Structure 1
Amino acid sequence: MLPIEKFTFGVGDRFAHQAGAQLRAFEQLANDGVEVTPVWNKSNREHTFVGSQPQSVYDAAKTAVEERGWKKPWHIDADHIQLATVDPFLPCSDFFTIDVADSIGKAASADDVNAFVEAHGELIGTLTLDGLSSPLQVSKQDVKRVAQQYLLAVKEAAEIYRYIAAAKGADHVIAEISMDETDNPQTPPELLVILAAIADEKIPVQTIAPKFTGRFNKGVDYVGDLEQFEREFSDDLAVISHAVKTYGLPETLKLSVHSGSDKFSLYPIIRQCLKRTGAGLHLKTAGTTWLEEIIGLAEAGGDGLALAKEIYSYALEHVDEFCAPYASVIDIDKNKLPDADTVNAWSGPRLASAIRHLQDNEHFNPHMRQLLHVSFKVAAKQGSRYTDLLKANETIVAGEVTKNIYDRHLRPLFVGS
């Protein structure tokens, strides 16, 4: 396998124009004495919406790395791929987020389930693992239930991984398994059973993305019980450490937090857990950079502001269409979305302050922010008009991108206030 670094951070770049600005944030963090590896990610769904190809992500990142003289590691993530969608990502990606959410809950054969349960008697009983908040109580029926729910998904992940490894060579592959896009969170005991199944399939998984309790909505803060999240996150770290020792999984295996952008209330919790345990982390963001582009265009005024307003007006008219694919990761109250006439009367700074994620700003509107987060295809339809405005206002837009990643994400996660 290709060993992953201890701390990695996923950045999306919908239109492949901000790789340099994103990389600048990692340079600034390195100047603080903390090395975090950038991982540029873009899913097949986003490529389809925008009309781009996976190679464009690699090309933009490589150009930024060369122009800025970045000498440290970097990766390209084939985000949320499945067997049917992975081929275009093979030549240009080294990090593969294997998404098996569609197979979770589909029952494996009774023979496979029974064989797994019989092979893993060590999972049954009172499990006292180092670092747990309290012992895990796991019955034979619990193991059987989890196996019935997840064994088929793990077998699918193995099939996808072996296909990728055969095409690229295992030494050129970082494997992540994603189980976060499901209705129900995985508890720490369930995660342990899943990791045992992954080990049985001999997948050298280096990051795993469970679904945590609470809401991880796109582009806004976490909604849920912070104390419960802290227990769950800490226990998951203990489970991973135990699974590495018990099942021979890669020592680099770490938790991955998806939809991790803007989860400001969680960053101090995560940072303290990492400091206490010495564990690694992968945190994935996506549409945050696209939002910073809109904020930058609004701040720039003129044609940039006019287009930002047009994009919002169009998104407002098509709110149900744009929200449907992301229904499980957004919460928008349409009654709190200002009408187009109101927004059209705003100045650039006023519009920017409604979108920019500063929670103590009286103008911040999380409903507008979430709507724009999922409406990037409106900008894609503008073609060169949009990208030409990004180029014309590069200094302002890039400044917003760098500041957002460095000030509001990387520093709180890895340095603290």
Structure 2
Amino acid sequence: MQFPKFSFGMGDRFAHQAKAQLQACMLAAQQGADVTPVWNKSNREHLIIGSEPTGTREAADAAVKEMGWTKPYFLDADHINLKTYERFVAPCDFFTIDVADNIGQKSDETEIAKFVERHPELIGEITIPRIDQPFRTDKAFVEKTAKQFLAAVQHAGEIYRAIAAAKGNENFVAEISMDETDAPQTPVELLIILAAISDEKVPIQTIAPKFTGRFNKGVDYGGDLQQFAKEFREDLATIAYAVEKYNLPKTLKLSVHSGSDKYSIYPAIREGLQAFDAGVHVKTAGTTWLEEVIGLAEAGGDALELAKEIYAQAYAHADELCAPYATVIDIKKDNLPTPETVDGWSSEQFVKALQHRSPAEAGDLPEYNPDFRQLLHVGFKVAAKLGKRYTDTLEANEEVVARNVTKNLFERHIRPIFLG
């Protein structure tokens, strides 16, 4: 299955915003950018919400039919492993194979030795077109990198083959994800990883490395922008080199698991894509969930009261909600408003505190509170417990919620990356 050049991963945790999300891709197409929608939802999110992957498929298919979308679209089994893939086999055609937990696991010494023996080209000076300085390695470095990543890649191969046995090799797109780990992978490490993936005969079309800097959920990038730009371009060059060197799919491209709202790196991504004529997959995580809460707050009345209730419960259970996301959030508890304070806010105050604006909108307002935003980002479990009360409120305020969802995805994310 061939994966298009530009794609955009969109979370829809409560399966109510597929039309609004698709509208953002339709606006992009009208302005000259073909951006393929990929609806993604992880097993963890399904368990929290009590949903099934078939429900996500039904919502996406219904939106495509109703909106008249005739271009490709995909459904992503997000961050799956051997324990979770089976429930996604029938409805999904994109599989994000997550092996971050396997990075650093001890590999068989014989397997490491065989890998190094198979790849003498990885030792010494490696000149890659469009990278200023050659990579310089020695046998010890390649062995060390193999010890760090070989077990993870081999596990990815095991997961891929299990999916392929159930679904057929030609019926899905495979991604390998290594982003939810502590240390970033350097471009030369990426090259060694790609050589190992080729050995496993896994025809991945996207790979999600961990980049330098912080990719916290729902807020802007934290790190050195020049270093990110350099790393991103070197990764693009490394992938182009590895595709030819190791006979990987020509559609192979970087996947950026942004955690939403990484506005400051979007110019570097756009410039890199233009310079290399490369594709990219950008995954926005929980942006849509936050826009739902913003829409409810903007609607006022009972919808605003529900948004305040969700925050109060998130505040009361902050430690529990934050624990699964400890590596991708930084919340300063002293900066969180109390529920009593929030209870006195107007609709406008709530929206301004939660809404993360892009630089094109003159940046964040003084009232914007990134700690408030991050807590609500991981607080969707509260809305899940509300069940039909939450989704009924979404439906009652569909117009204002959908407007926020579409504007956010198109104006703040798709436009700066794919249209400029």
TM-score range, shorter chain: over 0.9
Structure 1 residue 360, shift from structure 2 partner:
2.6
Determine the structure 1 residue equivalent to 2:390: 386
What does 1:42-121 align with in structure 2 at a 5 Å threshold? 42-121=41-120
Q: Pairwise CA RMSD of aligned residues?
A: 0.7
The DSSP-based 3-state class of the residue aligned with 2:176 is strand
Residue identity matched to 1:143? V
1:250 aligns with 2:249: yes
The range that moved more, 127-136 or 16-25, is 127-136
Measured after TM superposition, the shift of residue 131 of structure 1 is 1.3
Separation of aligned partners in 1, 2:239 and 2:278: 10
Matches within 5 A, 1:192-271: 192-271=191-270
| 1:241-294 deviation per Cα after TM superposition (whole angstroms, max 9, x unaligned) | 010000000000000001342000000000000000001000111211000000
* Structure 1 unmatched ranges of 5 or more: none
Corresponding residue for residue 31 of structure 1: 30
1:412 aligns with 2:416: yes
Q: Distance in 1 between matches of 2:55 and 2:133?
A: 47
1:403 aligned residue: 407
Q: Give 1:316's aligned amino acid.
A: Y
Match of 1:362 in 2: 366
Query: 8 Å contact 2:219–2:356 — kept in the other structure?
Result: yes
- How far did residue 180 of structure 1 move? 0.6
For 1:401, the aligned partner's letter is V
Partner of 1:142: 141
Q: Taking structure 2 as the reference length, what is the TM-score of the superposition?
A: 0.98
Asked if the contact 2:259–2:286 (Cα under 8 Å) also holds between the matched residues in 1, the reply is no
Amino acid at match of 2:237: A
CA distance in 1: counterparts of 2:106 and 2:151, whole angstroms = 7
Rounded Cα–Cα distance in structure 2 between residues aligned with 1:139 and 1:80? 33
Matched residue type, 2:63: A
What amino acid does structure 2 have at the position aligned with 1:283? V
The 8 Å contact of residues 221 and 264 in structure 2, kept in 1 or not, is answered as yes
- CA distance in structure 2 between the aligned counterparts of 1:64 and 1:31, rounded to whole angstroms: 18
- Give, in whole Å, the separation in 2 of the partners of 1:42 and 1:113: 35
List per-residue Cα deviations over 1:190-220 (Å, max 9, x = no partner): 0000000000010001000000010000000
Provide, for residues 146-187 of structure 1, a one-character-per-residue CA deviation record: whole Å limited to 9, x for no partner: 111111111111111011111111110100000111111100
**Counterpart-to-counterpart distance in 2, 1:60 and 1:395:** 17
- The equivalent of 2:360 in structure 1 is none
Please tell me the residue identity of whatever aligns with 1:114: A
Alpha-carbon deviations, 1:51-76, whole Å to 9, x = none?
Answer: 11111111100000000000000000
Quick one: distance in 1 between partners of 2:354 and 2:125? Answer: 48
* Partner in structure 1 of residue 375 of structure 2: 371
Instruction: Determine if contact 2:24/2:409 at 8 Å carries over to the other structure.
Output: yes
- Which digits, 9 at most, give the CA deviation of each residue in 1:215-242, with x for residues without a partner? 0000000000000001111101111001
Distance 1:134 1:24 in 2: 43
d(CA) in 2 for partners of 1:104 and 1:206? 20
User: CA separation of 1:271/1:260 partners in 2, compared to 1, >3 Å: closer, same or farther?
Assistant: farther
- CA distance in structure 2 between the partners assigned to 1:116 and 1:403 by the alignment: 48
Q: Partner letter of residue 275 of structure 1?
A: Q
For residue 167 of structure 2, what is the aligned residue in structure 1? Answer: 168
Question: CA-to-partner distance for each residue in 1:344-400, whole Å, 9 max, x for gaps?
Answer: 111111101110102431111100000000000100111111101100000000000
State the percentage of identical aligned residues: 61
Measure, in 1, the Cα distance between the counterparts of 2:131 and 2:205.
Answer: 21
Q: Which amino acid aligns with 2:140?
A: Q
Q: CA deviation at 1:133?
A: 3.4
TM-score where L is the length of structure 1: 0.99
Question: 2: distance between equivalents of 1:50 and 1:134?
Answer: 49
Measured after TM superposition, the shift of residue 127 of structure 1 is 1.1
Which residue identity is paired with 1:411? R
Summarize deviations over 1:60-111 as a string: whole Å, max 9, x none. Answer: 0000000000000000000000011000000000000001111110111110
3-state SS of paired residue (1:252) = coil
For 1:396, give the aligned amino acid: V
What count of residue pairs does the alignment treat as equivalent? Answer: 415
Instruction: State how far apart, in whole Å, the 1-side matches of 2:171 and 2:384 are.
Output: 32
- Separation in structure 2 between the aligned mates of residue 86 and residue 260 of structure 1, nearest angstrom: 22
SS in 1 for 2:205: strand
Query: Aligned partners of 1:380, 1:252: CA distance in 2, in Å?
Result: 37
